[in-house]
Amino acid sequence: MKKMKNDNKGFTLVELIVVLVILAILAAILVPALLGYIDEAKQKQIVLEGKSVYTAAQAVASELYAKDADPADIAKYAGRITTMADIDTTKVTKVVIGFSEKYVSTAKTHGMWTVNYVAYEKGDDKIYLAGGTWSSEDDTTGTFTTQVLPATNSNGGTNGG
């Protein structure tokens, strides 16, 4: 009898199925964890962008204070604020800057140029600053004189915000 040559150089079907089952189990464990990290990163990004808008708006308000201008002029600097904040404005739906009404209606003091309210919305994500606290809910505890800044796109034009 001739000897049969044993040239099995591949994997059996059972081995391949076992490997696929192991990969499917790992994917089932890892995918939900990764999606959680992605959602958490998006939430942190909107907070950072909102804080950047606040810082830029406060810088522009301080410049207006130095020029003895009216804080109502801050809306004219929307492009400058978003540029200073270094945010991608193509998806920004609303930016509102507010000053405490008690300062705006009284004699000119430095408080008149202090940004006390920020509403920053980008798509479905929203962040608000009111009363010194950041929140995902627009729960204003004070009365603010607010100005909606037009959302500007990367070309300097407006997106109609």
57-105: per-residue pLDDT in tens? 888 888 888 887 777 777 788 888 888 888 877 778 778 887 765 555 5
pLDDT of residue 7: 65
Q: Please give the mean pLDDT across all residues of the chain.
A: 77
Show Cβ contacts of residue 43 under 8 Å, excluding neighbours closer than 6 positions.
125
Nearest to 127 by CA among 47, 44, 45: 47
User: Above 60 in pLDDT, residue 154?
Assistant: no
pTM assigned to the model: 0.66
Distance CA(63)–CA(75), nearest Å, equals: 13
**pLDDT at residue 8, rounded to an integer:** 65
Q: How high is the pLDDT of residue 140?
A: 63
Q: What are phi and psi of 114, to 5 degrees?
A: -95, 125
Q: What pLDDT does 113 receive?
A: 73
